[in-house]
Amino acid sequence: MEFILAILAGTIVTIMNVFNGQLSNQVGVYLSTVIIHLVGLFTLIIIMIIKKQKISFQNHIPLILYTGGMIGVFTVFCNVMSISTIGAALVTALGLLGQMLTSLVLEYKGWLGAKKRTLTFQKVISLVLVMIGIGVMIL
Amino acid sequence: MIAILCATCAGVTIVLSRSVNGYLSQKIGAYQSTFFNYFTGFLMSSIFLILFGFVNLKGFQFDILMRQPTLLIGGMIGVFNILILNITVPKISPVQLTLITFVAQLLSGVVIDYCIYDIFSIQKLIGCLIVIVGLIAYQLSDE
């Protein structure tokens, strides 16, 4: 089940990027980021009203856990700053490299709720295979 | 060099944001954590707009959005993406999630390129297949 959800998450990102790319072309990257978040906020509030969900801020949770959205904005700007210099293909490949390294650290240390797992030789080999695959893609 | 670092950082922030949101959703639920994701993201992007993008705002025609409401669909899709991820993150290893979403994104990208933009790249498809083999090998070595 969670594998199907993960596939779905990846697929809709592609569709989202097509629409958001058009928006960004029309109004520029800074304004488009604001619009995307505002539209998202309204969409979510409608869904929450339908689902009868309430919003409440809880003090006992560390503030740092509320920063996911802020970090997400930096993703957009990092992409924008690099894409014009090194091109879309390399940005995608390096982006995956960054994702892999961060995921490995989270998994190895068991941070942010990730189940702690050890890094074995076979895992390293399979990740090298992944990197070769990415190399082929950007050829 | 700065561009290479920036592109890698983009990947780092994707996983961090996703994991922080997933962790928060375990504590306060998927809907609430998605709400705070959009709320803080909206504040942050507004700050960036005021700092760097204010010049572009002059002469901006808001009726573009009225004439082409499809431009807003991306923002709506994003909500479903975050909601799905908030359910998925606690159940799956970060490495696997990264690889599966990546493969799904690439394959759907190949399909969209072919259907809409009429581009087909054989390297992308072959590279993608190699990544899938690597993903399966990773999955098997985990058990």
Tell me whether B126 touches chain A (CB under 8 Å).
Answer: yes
Percent of chain A with pLDDT over 90: 17
Task: Say yes or no: B46 and B110 in one domain.
Answer: no
Tell me whether A119 touches chain B (CB under 8 Å).
Answer: no
State the ipTM, two decimals: 0.86
- pLDDT above 90 for A56: no
Task: Say yes or no: B3 and B26 in one domain.
Answer: yes
Q: Read off the pLDDT of each residue in A15-44 and give the average, rounded to a whole number.
A: 87
**Number of CB pairs, chain A paired with chain B, less than 8 A apart:** 363
Tally of CB atoms within 10 A around A121: 8
Tally of CB atoms within 10 A around A81: 18
Q: Select, from the ranges A85-94, A120-129, B49-58, the one with the highest average predicted confidence (pLDDT).
A: A120-129
Task: Say yes or no: B85 and B16 in one domain.
Answer: yes
pLDDT of amino acid A8? 92
Chain centroid to Cα B100, Å, comes to 13
Would you say residue B74 lies in a domain? no
Per residue of chain B (143 residues), give pLDDT as tens. Answer: 888 899 899 999 999 998 999 899 888 888 999 999 999 999 999 998 888 877 666 666 677 777 888 888 989 999 999 899 888 988 888 888 888 888 888 888 888 878 877 777 788 788 888 888 887 887 787 66
What is the band of A99 on the pLDDT scale with cuts at 50, 70, 90? confident
Measure B126 CA to nearest chain A CA, in Å: 7
Would you say residue B66 lies in a domain? no
Give me A89's structure tokens.
């293909």
pLDDT of amino acid A58? 74
SS3 content of chain B, % helix, strand, coil (to 5): 90, 0, 10
What is the band of A59 on the pLDDT scale with cuts at 50, 70, 90? confident
As a whole number of angstroms, the distance between CA A70 and CA A66 comes to 8
Helix (H) or strand (E) holding B25: helix B2-28
Listed by start position, the domains of chain A span 1-86, 87-139
pLDDT of amino acid B44? 92
Task: Say yes or no: B51 and B10 in one domain.
Answer: yes
Task: Say yes or no: B132 and B85 in one domain.
Answer: no
Q: Read off the pLDDT of each residue in A113-117 and give the average, rounded to a whole number.
A: 80
As a whole number of angstroms, the distance between CA B22 and CA B16 comes to 10
Q: Total structural domains in chain B?
A: 2
pLDDT of amino acid A122? 86
Query: What is the rounded average pLDDT for all residues in chain A?
Result: 85
Percent of chain A with pLDDT over 70: 100
B95/A100 Cβ within 8 A: yes
Give me B21's structure tokens.
């949101």
- pLDDT above 90 for A46: yes
**A:76-95 residues touching chain B, CB 8 A cutoff:** 76-79, 81-83, 85-86, 90-91, 94-95
Tell me whether A117 touches chain B (CB under 8 Å).
Answer: yes
Task: Say yes or no: B55 and B100 in one domain.
Answer: no
In 3D space, the residue among B26, B46, B9, B18 whose CA is nearest the CA of residue A68 turns out to be B18
Task: Say yes or no: B86 and B119 in one domain.
Answer: no
B87/A112 Cβ within 8 A: no
Handedness of CA B140, B82, A33, B37 (dihedral sign): negative
The domain of B99 spans 92-143
What is the band of A41 on the pLDDT scale with cuts at 50, 70, 90? very high
Reported as a single tens digit per residue, the pLDDT across A9-29 is 989 988 888 888 888 888 888
pLDDT of amino acid A101? 86
Task: Say yes or no: B16 and B51 in one domain.
Answer: yes
Please give the residue that has the higher pLDDT: either A50 or B53.
Answer: A50
Please give the residue that has the higher pLDDT: either A59 or A71.
Answer: A71
pLDDT of amino acid A43? 93
Task: Say yes or no: B108 and B87 in one domain.
Answer: no
CB A84 within 8 A of CB B54: no
As a whole number of angstroms, the distance between CA B135 and CA B96 comes to 7
Helix (H, G, I), strand (E, B) or coil at B24: helix
Would you say residue B69 lies in a domain? no
Q: HEC profile for chain A?
A: CHHHHHHHHHHHHHHHHHHHHHHHHHHCHHHHHHHHHHHHHHHHHHHHHHCCCCCCCCCCCCHHHHHHHHHHHHHHHHHHHHHHHHCHHHHHHHHHHHHHHHHHHHHHHCHHHCCCCCCCHHHHHHHHHHHHHHHHHCC
Measure A108 CA to nearest chain B CA, in Å: 10
pLDDT of amino acid B57? 67
Give me B28's structure tokens.
């306060």
- Which residue in the block uniquely carries the two structure tokens 């959005």? B65
